[in-house]
């Protein structure tokens, strides 16, 4: 049983998380729900799959988040000719010393932006599996740990686009959340255009307004606090009932496994801290259920033909699964 953090530690954690949220919002216009969900994944020590068309600020979001905790940020552009060693690193023969040296790849960072991950073939996508699950990379039989905290934020274009490879289920399951970024509304887009074009040459991303709030080790401490927040039996029961319902729900051909239930509780704890609470409500579970489960289910073909998507089916499910009374 994890030890419950002292009230003053929780208060401090809530304050720091709010500061991080404020700083990221300095760089991003609107998209508050997206910022919150990325913070949820970081606090829950999870990875994020971000889906959306190019040009909606995904790179800017990751850069701003990295700056809030003085973290290292690396971006990999996934392409059809990307090799696994381009991601993880490789052994290099040094002619002078007549020995092999390890050249570490771009995964050795705090925040890894895997841009357009579904443009690379399965072998290169799989290069991320070990580091996402084990927080280490094996090169020439030796394991090298990556810096902590480590988080992969993978972006993908909508699958209908040409030249994309669908991510395998095993890879999808490693992502705590799948976030969808939509186009900004009219007023947000006007503010965005004003911000980007105001006395700036070209399209260089600007995170100069974002302040450093904490250090990487403090983020690790925040993750430990989130992991030890108390969850009542009724909330566990609610989360598991939601996930188990996906396995026999009309229109879902493949439901979520136990990893879905675990992810739901982990994410709900982070939602609670972001909402300035030290306890988890059923509403926390419900609010993050779409992002946690949309990539863990597969719709029956007839549902897709009728124009339904995973979100609409999951919303229907969430409305039918009874939440515990408080």
* Nearest by Cα to 197 from 22, 29, 21, 53: 29
Which helix (DSSP H) or strand (DSSP E) does residue 85 occupy? helix 84-88
How does pLDDT run across 153-175, given as a tens digit for each residue? 998 876 556 667 778 777 888 89
Which class is 230-326 in CATH? mainly alpha
Backbone angles phi, psi at 76, to 5 degrees: -115, 125
Of the listed ranges 69-73, 96-100, 267-271, 294-298, the one predicted with least confidence: 96-100
DSSP characters over 54-74: TTSSHHHHHHHHHHHTT--EE
pLDDT at 98 over 70: no
Cα separation, 135 vs 138, in Å, equals 10
How does pLDDT run across 172-218, given as a tens digit for each residue? 888 999 998 877 778 777 877 776 666 554 445 567 788 889 999 99
Share of the chain above pLDDT 70, in %: 91
* Nearest by Cα to 68 from 106, 16, 146, 14: 16
Reported residue count of the chain is 326
Burial class (CB in 10 A: 0-12, 13-18, 19+), 233: exposed
| SS3 call for 147 | coil
| SS3 call for 93 | strand
pTM attached to this predicted model: 0.89
How does pLDDT run across 242-260, given as a tens digit for each residue? 999 999 999 899 899 999 9
Question: Which residue ranges make up each domain of the chain?
Answer: 1-228, 230-326
Q: What is the CATH number of domain 1-228?
A: 3.40.50.300
Cα separation, 172 vs 92, in Å, equals 32
Cα separation, 281 vs 272, in Å, equals 7
Q: Check residue 1 and give its pLDDT.
A: 46
């Amino acid at each position: 049983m994890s030890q419950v953090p002292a009230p003053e530690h929780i208060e401090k954690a809530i304050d720091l998380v709010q500061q991080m949220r404020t700083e990221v919002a300095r760089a991003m216009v609107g998209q508050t729900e997206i910022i919150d969900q990325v913070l949820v994944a970081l606090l829950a020590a999870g990875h994020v799959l971000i889906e959306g068309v190019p040009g909606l600020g995904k790179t800017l979001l990751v850069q701003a988040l990295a700056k809030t905790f003085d973290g290292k940020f690396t971006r990999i552009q996934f392409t059809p000719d990307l090799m696994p060693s381009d991601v993880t690193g490789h052994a290099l023969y040094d002619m002078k010393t007549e020995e092999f040296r390890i050249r570490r790849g771009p995964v050795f960072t705090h925040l890894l932006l895997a841009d357009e991950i579904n443009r690379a073939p399965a072998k290169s996508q799989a290069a991320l599996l070990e580091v996402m699950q084990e927080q280490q990379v094996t090169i020439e039989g030796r394991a090298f740990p990556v810096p902590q905290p480590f988080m992969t934020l993978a972006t993908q274009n909508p699958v209908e686009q040409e030249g994309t490879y669908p991510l395998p289920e095993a890879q999808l399951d490693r992502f705590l959340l799948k976030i969808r970024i939509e186009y900004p509304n009219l007023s947000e887009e006007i503010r965005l255009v004003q911000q980007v074009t105001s006395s700036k040459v070209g399209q260089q991303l600007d995170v100069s307004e974002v302040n450093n709030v904490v250090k990487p080790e403090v983020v690790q401490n925040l993750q430990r606090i989130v992991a030890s927040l108390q969850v009542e039996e009724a909330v566990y029961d609610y989360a598991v009932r939601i996930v188990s319902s996906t396995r026999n729900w009309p229109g879902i051909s493949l439901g979520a496994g136990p990893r879905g239930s675990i992810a739901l509780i982990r994410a709900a704890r982070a939602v609670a801290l972001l909402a300035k609470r030290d306890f988890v409500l059923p509403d926390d579970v419900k609010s993050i259920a779409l992002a946690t489960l949309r990539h863990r289910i597969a719709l029956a073909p007839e549902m897709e033909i009728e124009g339904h998507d995973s979100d609409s089916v999951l919303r229907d499910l969430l409305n039918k699964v009874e939440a515990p009374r408080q």
